[in-house]
Amino acid sequence: MHATALADPATADAISRLGLSVAILLVAAKLGGEVAVRLGQSAVLGELLAGVLLGSIPLHFFVEVRTDPYVDMLARLGILVLLFEVGLGSTIRDVASVAAAATAVAALGTLGSLAFGVVATALAAPGDRLPVRWFVAGAITATSIGISARVLRDAGAASTRAAHTILGASVLDDVLGLLVLAVLTELAQSADAGARVAWIGVAWGALKTIAFLGASIAVGVALSPRLFALTSRLQAPGTLLATGLSFCFVFAWASNAMGLSPIVGAFTAGLVLEELHSSRFVQRGEPSLVARMEPISAWLVPIFFVLVGMRADIRALFQPAALTLGAALVTAAMAGKLACALGAPRGTDRIAIALGMLPRGEVTLVFANLGSSLRSAGRPLLDPAHYSALVTVVVVTTLVTPIALRRRLRAGLERGAVRG
């Protein structure tokens, strides 16, 4: 930016306000995350609750932060970085090698959550339109893998068959969750054209998502080794990070160009890349791509979670409609994942596996954030009551899972029911 632009009072004021907003959000995120971790909870929960507290402060500044387009853009970048990192945590081989039991667990959990969610929304909010019911139900389908993985590790059960099933099913859950998101977004956007056209659009959305995933994975697997081998010849610092982020953002753009959510592309880009791609950089003493991403995600991703919390209208949270819907969705979310115990392999603690699939987190919040920005029938798809109810699902399942799963695993290890 030119010095003359910085000298302009309006531009300088916008930059200074953005800097102050980011500073406040980051401090709130780290303080909230620290409190949550000290209480044995996920840092994400602390960031979310910190945002809820900031959003309840009756100052005009915080009202403006919730709708600031610059802060919103940083949060959207945070979503892409988050899904890229989730993809980096898995590989194509991880997904391909998931056992039939993990596949069954993921499928039953997703379908169960979707079915219970539709019923719960119909009972608790009978006035909702069909696209709203399906979108809200879809928001509670995906498990938050980070919470369960932390509990399994802390309980000394990370090498058990139950843990392998939970983590394998959670990887598939991410893929299924993004597929559900793409399909339901298509349903919401085409609903105005009539039921018949909407369902054609849903089918087309599913085909586009599957085709995009397949084509992008094939192209990515073929091109990414050559791309990283080529850029490894460059000696300029930060080349590995620039290559990885460019790969992520190009895939996000391609996904959006196909009419899908950019996060589908970001996740796929991370899934395609492996540690092998960083090997030439690591051999010459540079950190891996995963390590390079940590400083980026450490400040962008918390902005997203705190902003999501700020947008949860605390007054709507305690209104009868939000309380009723929240309670119904929490029940549906738990019942849906308990159903996945039917797909657990014999000889494992099926209840422990079901409990490990309970927590909802990032994908549910992405659904909530996207649903509040989508428009259907001339108004936002999700109103404040829906938004607050989904935040309630995240908070309750995030709180319940560590306590219930830790106790179940401890009891199972003591009686020898959970085996490696």
Identify the burial level of 357 via C-beta atoms within 10 angstroms of its C-beta, where 0-12 means exposed, 13-18 middle and 19 or more buried: buried
d(C-alpha 39, C-alpha 310), whole Å: 22
For residue 104, give the nearest of 294, 283, 280, 344 by alpha carbon. Answer: 344
Nearest to 326 by CA among 201, 183, 144, 140: 140
pLDDT tens digits for range 195-235: 454 566 556 766 777 788 788 888 888 888 899 989 999 98
Which residue's entry shows tokens 């959970």?
418
State yes or no: pLDDT of 86 exceeds 80: no
- pLDDT number for residue 113: 93
397: pLDDT strictly greater than 80 = yes
CA 165 – CA 103 distance, rounded (Å) = 9
Which pLDDT value is given to residue 420? 46
Query: Mean pLDDT throughout 315-343?
Result: 87
Contact at 8 Å (CB) between 144 and 86? no
Backbone φ and ψ of 233, nearest 5°: -75, -20
Alpha helical stretches, state H, 142-238: 145-154, 161-190, 195-231
The segment with the largest mean pLDDT, out of 182-196, 214-228, 325-339, is 325-339
- For the cut 60, the answer to whether the pLDDT of residue 275 exceeds it is yes
- The whole-number pLDDT of residue 67 equals 85
**Which of 137-141, 168-172, 211-215, 359-363 has the largest mean confidence?**
137-141
Rounded CA-CA distance 228/359 in Å is 36
Q: Say which amino acid occupies 172.
A: L
Nearest residue to 390 (alpha-carbon basis) of 374, 370, 406: 370
Region 319-324: mean pLDDT is 85
Give residue 155's pLDDT: 66
- Give the confidence band of 94 by pLDDT, cuts at 50, 70, 90: low
pTM > 0.95: yes or no: no
Q: What is the mean pLDDT of the chain?
A: 81
94 against 272, higher pLDDT = 272
More confident residue, 249 or 203: 249
Please tell me the CATH code under which domain 24-81+100-194+293-415 is placed: 1.20.1530.20
Within 10 A of 333 (CB to CB), how many other CB atoms are there? 29
Confidence of residue 419 (pLDDT cuts 50, 70, 90): very low
- The Cα 318–Cα 320 span in angstroms is 6
Mean pLDDT of 78-94: 79
- Of 249 and 403, the structure prediction assigns the larger pLDDT to 249
Closest Cα to residue 29, out of 53, 59, 60?
A: 53
User: Coil, strand, or helix at residue 58?
Assistant: coil
Which is nearest to 183 in space by CA: 250, 111, 261?
Answer: 261
- 347-356 pLDDT, tens digit per residue, is 778 888 898 8
- Work out the pLDDT band at 381, boundaries 50, 70, 90: confident
Give the whole-angstrom CA distance, residue 366 versus residue 370. 6
Identify the residue with better confidence: 48 or 357. 357
Whole-number Å distance between alpha carbons of 387 and 382: 6
Q: Is 295 a residue whose pLDDT tops 60?
A: yes
Q: What Cα–Cα distance (Å) separates residue 298 from each residue in 61, 97, 103, 143?
A: 24, 31, 32, 22
389 to each of 20, 62, 92, 322, 367, how far by Cα in Å? 30, 22, 34, 6, 12
* Residue 331 confidence (pLDDT) above 90: yes
Residue 116 to residues 69, 139, 331, 385, Cα–Cα distance (Å): 35, 12, 8, 19
pLDDT-based confidence at residue 305 (cuts at 50, 70, 90): confident
User: pLDDT band at residue 154, thresholds of 50, 70 and 90?
Assistant: low
Domain residue ranges of the chain, discontinuous segments joined by +: 24-81+100-194+293-415
Bridge partner residues of 375 (DSSP): 380
For residue 1, count other CB atoms closer than 10 A to its CB: 7
pLDDT tier, 162 (very low <50, low <70, confident <90, very high otherwise): confident
Q: Is 285 left (phi over 0), alpha (psi -120 to 50) or beta?
A: left
pLDDT above 80 for 313: no
More confident residue, 91 or 303: 303
Q: Is the pLDDT of residue 9 over 70?
A: no
Q: How far is 283 from 339, CA to CA, in rounded Å?
A: 47
Asked if pLDDT for residue 32 goes beyond 70, the answer is: yes
